[in-house]
Structure 1
Amino acid sequence: MNKSCPGSIHRPTSFKYERTLLPFSFYSPKLALYILAICATLLLLLQIRSLHTPPIPTLPSPSPSWSFLQQWQKVINKTLASPNCTQDVLESMTQKLRDSVTFLPLKDLRFANQPLPGHTWFMSSMYDTHEEGEVQYQQFPSDSSNGRLLCLKGRDTHDGSWNYYALAWPEALPSNASLMKGLTFVAYNHYNYDNIWHGLSAMVPFVAWHRKNSCETPTRWILYHWGELRFKMGTWLITLMEATFGQAPYIEGFSGIEDDDQPVCFEKAVVMRHNEGGMSRERRMEVYDLIRCKARVYCNVSGDQKRPGIGMTLLMRTGPRSFRNETAVIGIFEKECKKVEGCQLIVAYSNNLTICEQVKLMSLTDILISPHGAQLTNMFLMDRNSSVMEFFPKGWLKLAGVGQYVYHWMASWSGMRHRGDWRDPDGENCPYSEDDRRCMSLYKSGRIGHNETHFAEWARNVLNDAKTSKSEEASKHAQNSISKTCDCS
Structure 2
Amino acid sequence: MTILPSHNPNLTTTTTKPEMPHYQKHSPRSTVTATTATRTPFSFFSPKLSVYLCSICVTLFILFHIKILQTPLPSTQNSLSFLHNWQEKLINNDEPASCNHDITSMGDKLRESVTFLPLKDLRFANAALVGHTWFMSSLYDTHEEGEVQYQQFPSKSSNGRILCIKGRDNHDGSWNYYGLAYPGFLPKNATLVPGRTFVSYNHYDFGNIWHGLSALVPFVAWHLKSECAAPDRWILYHWGEVRTGMSPWLNTLMEATFNGPLNIEKFNEDGNDYEWPMCYEEAVVMRHNEGGMSREKRMEVYDLIRCKARMMCDVELDRTDNDIGLTLFMRTGPRSFRNETAVVEIFERECMKVENCRLKVAYSSNLTVCEQVKLMASTDILVSPHGAQLTNMFLMDRNSSVLEFFPKGWLKLAGVGQLVYHWIASWSGMKHQGAWRDTEGDPCPYPDDDRRCMSVYKNGRIGYNSTYFAEWASRVLNEVKMRKSEEATRGNIVPTKCACS
Do the two structures share a fold, i.e. TM-score over 0.5? yes
C-alpha displacement of 1:362: 0.3
1:66 maps onto 2:79 in alignment: no
What does the per-residue CA deviation read over 1:395-415, in whole Å, with 9 as the maximum and x for residues that have no partner?
A: 000000100000000000000
**Structure 2 length normalisation: TM-score?**
0.81
- Which runs of 5 or more structure 2 residues have no equivalent in the other structure? 1-65, 74-78
Given that residues 318 and 495 in structure 2 are in contact (C-alpha distance below 8 angstroms), is that contact kept between their aligned partners in structure 1? Answer: no
How far did 1:473 drift? 4.3
Correspondences of 1:17-166 after superposition (within 5 Å): 66-67=71-72, 85-115=98-128, 118-166=131-179
What is the count of residue pairs matched by the alignment? 427
**Residue 62 of structure 1, CA deviation:** 7.0
**Which deviations, in whole Å up to 9, do the C-alpha atoms of 1:120-171 show, x marking residues without a partner?**
0100001001000000000000111011010001111111100000000001
Task: Quote the Cα distance in structure 2 between the aligned partners of 1:467 and 1:252.
Answer: 48
Q: Which amino acid aligns with 1:232?
A: G
Decide whether aligned partners of structure 1 residues 312 and 265 sit closer, same or farther in structure 2, where only a CA change above 3 A counts: same
| Number of the residue aligned with 2:328 | 314
2:277 matched to 1:272?
no
Partner of 1:51: none
Q: Which residue of 2 aligns with 1:195?
A: 208
Whole-angstrom CA distance in 1 between matches of 2:212 and 2:397: 22
Number of the residue aligned with 2:349? 335
Report the identity percentage.
67
Where does residue 63 of structure 2 map in the other structure?
A: none
Q: By how many angstroms is 1:214 displaced?
A: 1.6
Task: Using the TM superposition, give the Cα deviation of residue 303 of structure 1 relative to its aligned residue in structure 2, in angstroms.
Answer: 3.9
Corresponding residue number in structure 2 for 1:440: 454
2:196 pairs, out of 178, 183, 190, with 183
The offset of 1:93, in angstroms, is 1.0
Matching residue of 2:408:
394
Q: Deviations over 1:213-268 (max 9, x none)?
A: 12111111000001000001110011101110110111101121432111000010
Equivalent in the alignment of 1:451:
465
Choose from 374, 397, 413 the match for 2:427. Answer: 413
Q: Does the 8 Å CA contact 2:169/2:175 hold for their aligned counterparts?
A: yes
Q: 1:471 Cα deviation (Å)? A: 2.9
For 2:466 and 2:258, locate their aligned partners in 1 and report how far apart those are by CA, in whole Å: 45
**RMSD of aligned Cα (Å):** 2.5
Q: Distance in 2 between matches of 1:131 and 1:181?
A: 27
Residue 469 of structure 1: SS of its match in structure 2?
Answer: helix
Q: Unpaired runs of 5+ in structure 1?
A: 1-60
User: Conserved in 1, the CA contact under 8 Å of 2:330 and 2:361?
Assistant: yes
Counterpart residue identity of residue 487, structure 1: A
Q: 1:298 to 1:76 in 2, by over 3 A?
A: closer
Residue in structure 2 matched with residue 487 of structure 1 by the alignment: 499
Flag the 1:172–1:73 CA change in 2: closer, same or farther, 3 A. closer
Counting only pairs closer than 5 Å after superposition, residues 1-12 of structure 1 correspond to structure 2 as none
Q: 1:371 aligns with which of 385, 402, 427?
A: 385
Query: Which amino acid is the alignment partner of residue 265 of structure 2?
Result: E
Give the Å deviation of 1:304: 5.9
Q: Structure 1 residues 113, 72: closer, same or farther in 2, change over 3 A?
A: farther
Is 1:209 the counterpart of 2:222 in the alignment?
Answer: yes
Distance 1:435 1:307 in 2: 49
In 1, distance between residues paired with 2:366 and 2:490?
Answer: 31
Q: State the shift of 1:270 in Å.
A: 0.3
Higher alpha-carbon deviation: 378-387 or 208-217? 208-217
User: Aligned partners of 1:145, 1:166: CA distance in 2, in Å?
Assistant: 11
The equivalent position to 1:293 in structure 2, one of 307, 310, 321, is 307
- The one-letter code matched in structure 2 to 1:332 is I
Displacement after TM superposition at 1:87 (Å):
2.3
Question: Hey, what's the Cα distance between the residues in 1 that align with 2:267 and 2:199?
Answer: 13
SS of residue paired to 1:487:
coil
Which residue in the other structure is 2:236 paired with? 223
